[in-house]
Structure 1
Amino acid sequence: MDVRKVRIVRRHDERPNIMYVEIEKWLLDIGDVLEFDLFMAEGKLTEKTLLLSKHIPINSDIKIEIDSRHAIYVRQSDLEAYNIFVDKIAQAVARNEHIPVIKKAAIIYRQASVILDEMFENPEELENVPKTKKVVNTFVNTIFSDTHAIESMIKITAYDYYTHTHSINVCIYSLSLGSYLELNSITLQELGMSALLHDLGKSRVDPKITNKKGRLTEDEFDEMKHHPLYGHTIALKIGIRDNRILDGIRHHHEKLDGSGYPDGLMGNSITLFARIIAVCDVFDALSTQRSYKERMSSYDTLLLMKKTMQHHLDMVLVDSFIKMQQHSDALTAL
């Protein structure tokens, strides 16, 4: 039997207590031979069906099936093999101008996810800074090298809210908004660093609070409000000295009317980085799925921000964010 002609295999993975991890399906191409099985969800969300066995090349039929699915999974035990797969193709894809930018963006997103996982486990590791710079520089270089990069990056932002994916999403939105505002590449790199690290202080907050499936109590929220200060302290410890980066980390929860935290800054006392990150932070938090609420559409999120947050957020930046989104949608339609 010619394995190249094998089509979709319909059977359930029946081994008990198997855990699955969603992967970036944009990275999978015709001809790829994987060292791990691919799964899809059918029926109950907890049930996974084998889509493709490892060592069998992805053919056109399987590629169509992958693209038509909301999500594709691997076993959690195969996650390391998947990360190796991503690392192998990352450099070649980044250098190849014929590779769709959506795939480049997905690879960068994946690499950022791995780095943030490591960073939240060991937040004071000095190697975090060069690793973070590498990811942010790749984001920025991709933005400057392809006119469709921004909408591709926005397209892959995750819908489920977790600290790590949220940090990457806020970084992407901040870089997209900064690019729309025509900030230069050096400023964008610094903005990206600040945005990617803006929630690093949550690594010092009790996981029972950060992972709570529901609204926080008043005491829990008071503890959560310390995370900008924690993040500022960690950033200093790992050698970050740029004041703009540090300020974005410390002040992304300040509000124009002075009711924010940790320092109660008002108006123009809140720097550009902090104001940009604040807008992107609120947008992503409202437009992603939470355990206790449904995600809002982009339109409803922006409308809520415009109607109810005039005294909290910089409305000039909110308007620019709206125009940036509209520009991105227009490019996608071309």
Structure 2
Amino acid sequence: MPGWSGWWEPSAGSGHDVREGPLLNLRQASSRPFNGNLGEAARGYIPVKVAHLWPGIRLPCEFHLPILVKGEAVPKFVKVFDRGQFYSEQWWETLRVRQVTVLYVEEADYHELTAYMEEFVENRLDSSEMSGEEKSGMLYGQAELLVSRIFSQPHDLETLQDVSRWTEQAARHLQRDSVTARMLYAVFSKDYQTYTHSVQVCLLGMAFAAYLGWDETETAELGKGGLLHDIGKIWIDDRILLKPASLTAQEFEKIKEHPKLGHDQLQGLAEVTESVLEIVLRHHESMDGNGYPEGLSGESIHPYARVAHIVDCFDALTTRRPYKSAISPFKALKLMQDQMMASFDAKFLYKFVQFLGS
């Protein structure tokens, strides 16, 4: 990491006038950005990855950075960008060079931020100058913000409405632009986290649905179920979810409660349809009846849940966890076909293999 006494300066040769820049607020040689666990200090703030802030826009709200002042134990949030501030390529490069990866917005500004991002991304999705990979990256950034919010406030109707609009937007893009698994893999995280896993199951599932010829409504429903499929883990102890080793039998029984927990919490909410609830409740059901929570089998499992089961398993196998390494897509498919075949709908799995190779 560069020396902190001058970390706020734009990149050399950028041509950016530092006097116009918002980072002047951080001109303290005795302070530095805080990269540790914020804990209670982050209450009231929402993290936004710098990678998902696109240069060339005026920012819709204030952005903050946690700063640790020398001699103090608790970081404080300092405003680094004003509402309406032009976020230039130079400032994007400055943050990248200085390894600032996350900024924060106040919770009160969340819906303003998502509305702005929704409009910005919609305009870019219509651009013929952007690649499918770039468009997918924008959708990924939006979805990650939505999932982090919904996992902290699962009953917030306005956020669920944001999720509905986003999945409809994403479905249009995936249907129109013929997004491939290869394009998505270029923007996917290789480390397993509940948030990123939910986004990846959602996007990969929707792209697969488009490949299968499902219409936009069906594709969007599968996507919403993908985003919400693990929401029941909110009510599972973090000591189990984040355990850096294999789970005990007792701990795994607790994990197996998450589909029912998620279903029961979402049931009755206006923005959550029955087909989405089917995915949340039954994405761990197996064709051979050995799944959970109800031990359903065959055609009694909703087709959306059968597809979600395949995509969920595939993404889990191909991302790193604290207690296991990721395996390649090829090895994951081979494992699913050779050792887990009875768990999956054979027709959908065969099509999924074709989709990944397309």
Q: Normalising to structure 2: TM-score of the pair?
A: 0.72
Structure 2: unaligned runs, 5 residues or longer: 1-9, 16-28, 37-46, 66-79
Q: Which residue of 1 aligns with 2:251?
A: 220
Structure 1 residues 199 and 86: alpha-carbon distance in aligned structure 2, compared to 1, 3 A threshold: closer
Distance 1:249 1:141 in 2: 23
1:1-334 paired onto structure 2 within 5 Å: 5-6=13-14, 18-19=34-35, 23=49, 25=51, 28=54, 57-58=88-89, 73-74=99-100, 76=102, 78-80=103-105, 88=116, 90-96=118-124, 97=127, 98-148=129-179, 151-240=182-271, 242-327=273-358
Give the counterpart letter for 1:79 in structure 2.
Y
* CA RMSD after TM alignment: 3.6
**Secondary structure, aligned partner of 1:79:** strand
Distance 1:284 1:147 in 2: 20
Question: Does the Cα contact within 8 Å between 1:129 and 1:238 map onto a contact in 2?
Answer: no
Distance 1:119 1:3 in 2: 36
Distance 2:88 2:220 in 1: 38
Structure 1 residue 239 displacement after superposition: 2.9
Deviations 1:98-142 (A, max 9, x none): 333333322221221122112111222223321210111111011
**Secondary structure, aligned partner of 2:89:** coil
Structure 1 residue 238 displacement after superposition: 2.4
Question: Does the Cα contact within 8 Å between 1:24 and 1:110 map onto a contact in 2?
Answer: no
Distance 1:122 1:92 in 2: 24
Structure 1 residues 56 and 324: alpha-carbon distance in aligned structure 2, compared to 1, 3 A threshold: closer
Distance 2:173 2:12 in 1: 34
Structure 1 residue 180 displacement after superposition: 1.0
Distance 1:3 1:302 in 2: 44
Deviations 1:41-99 (A, max 9, x none): xxxxxxxxxxxx9989536xx69xx7xx9xx94254x3339x99887565234224133
Structure 1 residues 3 and 232: alpha-carbon distance in aligned structure 2, compared to 1, 3 A threshold: closer
**Secondary structure, aligned partner of 1:80:** strand
Structure 1 residues 239 and 73: alpha-carbon distance in aligned structure 2, compared to 1, 3 A threshold: farther
Distance 2:11 2:282 in 1: 56
Give the counterpart letter for 1:18 in structure 2.
F
Structure 1 residues 292 and 15: alpha-carbon distance in aligned structure 2, compared to 1, 3 A threshold: farther
**Secondary structure, aligned partner of 2:267:** helix
Give the counterpart letter for 2:160 in structure 1.
V
Distance 1:160 1:22 in 2: 18
- Tell me which moved more, 277-286 or 213-222: 213-222
Give the counterpart letter for 2:122 in structure 1.
A
Question: Does the Cα contact within 8 Å between 1:125 and 1:238 map onto a contact in 2?
Answer: no
Q: Normalising to structure 1: TM-score of the pair?
A: 0.77
Q: Which consecutive aligned stretches of 4+ in structure 1 deviate over 6 angstroms post-superposition?
A: 31-38, 53-56, 83-87
- Tell me which moved more, 85-94 or 305-314: 85-94
Structure 1 residues 26 and 252: alpha-carbon distance in aligned structure 2, compared to 1, 3 A threshold: same
Distance 2:100 2:167 in 1: 27
Structure 1 residues 306 and 128: alpha-carbon distance in aligned structure 2, compared to 1, 3 A threshold: same
Distance 1:279 1:164 in 2: 18
**Secondary structure, aligned partner of 1:260:** coil
Structure 1 residue 18 displacement after superposition: 2.1
Structure 1: unaligned runs, 5 residues or longer: 8-12, 39-52, 328-334
Deviations 1:127-169 (A, max 9, x none): 3321210111111011123234664334212111111110110
